Amino acid sequence: MTWEIWYTLGSIALVIAALATNRISPDTAMVGGLTLLLLGDAALPGEILPWTDGIRGFAHPAIVMIGALFVVAAGLQQTGGMEIVAQRLLGRPRTIAGAQLRMMMPVAVMSGFMNNTPIVAMYLPIINDWAKKLRISPSKLYMPLSFSAILGGKLTLIGTASNIVVMGLYLEFLAQPPDTAQAWTAGIPAPSAQLQFWGIAAIGVPTAIAGMILIVALSRWLLPERRPASGVVLDARKYQVEMVVQPDAPIVGKTIEEAGLRHLPGLYLTQIERNGRVRTAVSPQTRLEADDRLAFTGIIESVVDLRKIRGLVPATDQVGKIAGPRQQRTLVEAVVSHNSPLVARSVRDSKFRTKYNAAIIAVHRNGEHINAKVGNIVLKPGDTLLIDTHQGFVDAHRNSDDFYLVSQVHGSHPIRHERAPVALAILGLLVVLITVTRMPPVVAALVCAGLMVITRCVTGTEARTSVNWQVLLVIGSALGMGVAMEHTGASVAIADQLAGVCQGLGPTATLGVLFLAASLFGQVITNNGAAVLMFPVMMATAQELGVRPEAFVFTLMVAAGSTFLSPVSYQTNLMVYGAGGYRFLDYARLGLPLTLLLAVMTMFLAPVVFPFS
């Protein structure tokens, strides 16, 4: 091999080592690797990676489409559309296996049509509460939650970013003018839009079903029964907050338990006031009625979750009088100063809403139980106020003498429940545009992202902040590194080595070896990086064997996304790592048999669905 190949492989090896140690972020490692390759080309121009080719990946259609899909996912999150569906699907199974299946099936289906990360992020608090209700250790559910999202990513083209990357590379590959390198692909038509979108389903559906069955069968022995490493927060501020059940609320007529108000984490329902009568011993079988006033005591994070329940609103009428759009509202904590004009006045007499365009919904006083309605509480220095207000409150009063400290509560923007049907309709439109029309997927994604903003399912600011730029940097850098592997001949050299390993095995067994190689790459350089770096290897190997490339393309889609072996191999694995109280090797115990199952199934299914000749 030439020094250019050694330099390219060495740079990529450094990236892999950096990612494996988990000491620097994936985007830093990948951009650093791309920079090394560009520096090498500066020493010997045109031999490793021309700078124009190196940065071209950041303008790749896959980058644009993935960025747009982040906005679509944000619209679904901000409207609570998927949460409504999720809560209806989970139910109350009686066994751990039943709970795992009830959870994994909808997660897998949803992840076939939207980014895995927001799905898992949305499900985590739901599963946490659900596990408490079912008296199941969360560690029995969190890893299957992540793994089912990964399995569901193999159902459609947009199921995961690596699918889009591989298909984009394949379309570019077929579009190149035939020469000695691509002559073997002459006469192979570009896949139709339907095949692009649903082609992977022929492999993804059976592997996802088999994978979920394996998880249920083995989790009894291979999944630990642990509590989260970080569970209870000591000395957390607890607030007493009153909420009113609106007449049109979907929880009207349901029992406390059915409405999900019985086992709220960090929150306790202390009493119900109905028609002027107060009930302090609240039975879980008590049915909710319109205009019930519910009194809760709990930590701030739980109060935020409480506000997201459809049909529950703060009991104070001052909230409805705050000027400005509801979508721009947020919760703020503010500590009353000794010099504040609020001191020694009741909340009602302080004219708080008139002066600050905000409403006090709860008061915390050093753990003291305040036996009074919010409007009747006489404020003291050091009281922490929980305020419903507009986004500019923090900046306007950060240096005010009225408060010692003012801080915004993260994630407390109101959910736009009324927009949930619109967001779900836009998601359906995205699927239709990609599968039924001839519109390019990237254009369809941009159209639907724009519709999310136009229909106010998500604001412009939320759309910008929803884009995970780290993911886009990783993919763009990986695309540049993939070009370097092709340009220097490193991919062909690796293909030759793999062909030597697979010599005499035949195309089917070769698919299995390449599957494992791509999957191992995905554990350390992300699924997108593995897809980009292994694509030229797949094409070169198919050429060496003289077979059609489709089976290799779709095998790479499945393999690159099979990131089950470590918590750092995929973002959803990392999200459930601490929440489930897992250890590093817990992933390999369940992930290794799952990876081997997918490898065996794919190596036999791919040639059947996409024949070699």
- pLDDT tens across 553-574, in order? 999 999 998 999 987 677 788 7
Domain ranges in the chain are 326-414
Residues 6+ positions from 264 with CB-CB distance below 8 Å: 129, 296, 298, 302, 305, 306
pLDDT at 302 over 60: yes
Task: Indicate the pTM of the whole model.
Answer: 0.67
CA–CA distances in Å: residue 20 to residues 52, 273, 510, 527: 29, 56, 26, 14
**Is pLDDT larger for residue 172 or for residue 264?**
172
Token pair in block for residue 509? 């067994």
Separation of CA 466 from chain center: 11
**Which pLDDT does position 234 carry in this prediction?**
42
Give residues with Cβ within 8 angstroms of 149, minimum separation 6. Answer: 107, 108, 111, 116, 119, 120, 572
Angle, in degrees to the nearest 10, between helices 116-134 and 571-579? 20
Higher-confidence position of 488 and 180: 488
Phi, psi of 360 (to 5 degrees): -80, 120
Rounded to the nearest 5°, which phi and psi values hold at 247?
-60, -35
Q: pLDDT > 70: what percent of the chain?
A: 88
* Contact criterion met (CB below 8 Å) for 212 and 108: yes
Amino acid 182: pLDDT: 55
- Average pLDDT in the 42-69 region? 79
pLDDT of residue 450 exceeding 90: yes
For the ranges 74-83, 102-111, 180-189, 530-539, the maximum mean pLDDT occurs at: 102-111
Domain 326-414 = CATH 3.30.70.1450: yes
In the three-class reduction of DSSP (H, G, I as helix; E, B as strand; rest coil), residue 269 is classed as: strand
**Listed range (24-28, 65-69, 234-238) with the worst mean pLDDT:** 234-238
pLDDT tens, position by position, 455-469: 999 888 888 988 878
- 230-255 pLDDT, tens digit per residue, is 444 444 678 888 888 989 888 898 88
Q: pLDDT band for position 215 (50/70/90)?
A: very high
pLDDT at position 595 is 96
Token output for 236? 């957390």
- Residue 297, SS3? strand
CA atoms within 13 A on the CB side of 273: 10
Stretch 359-373: mean pLDDT, rounded? 82
pLDDT score of 259: 81
The confidence score (pLDDT) of residue 602 equals: 96
Instruction: Answer with the residue of higher pLDDT: 91 or 421.
Output: 421
pLDDT band with cut points at 50, 70 and 90 for residue 177: low
CA 2 to chain centre: 42
The rounded distance, in Å, linking the Cα atoms of 70 and 422 is 17
Work out whether strand 267-274 and strand 293-299 pair parallel, antiparallel, or are unpaired: antiparallel
Contact in structure between 217 and 209 (CB atoms under 8 Å): no
User: What are the distances in angstroms from CA 164 to CA 39, 61, 327, 449?
Assistant: 29, 9, 33, 17
Please give the mean pLDDT across all residues of the chain: 82
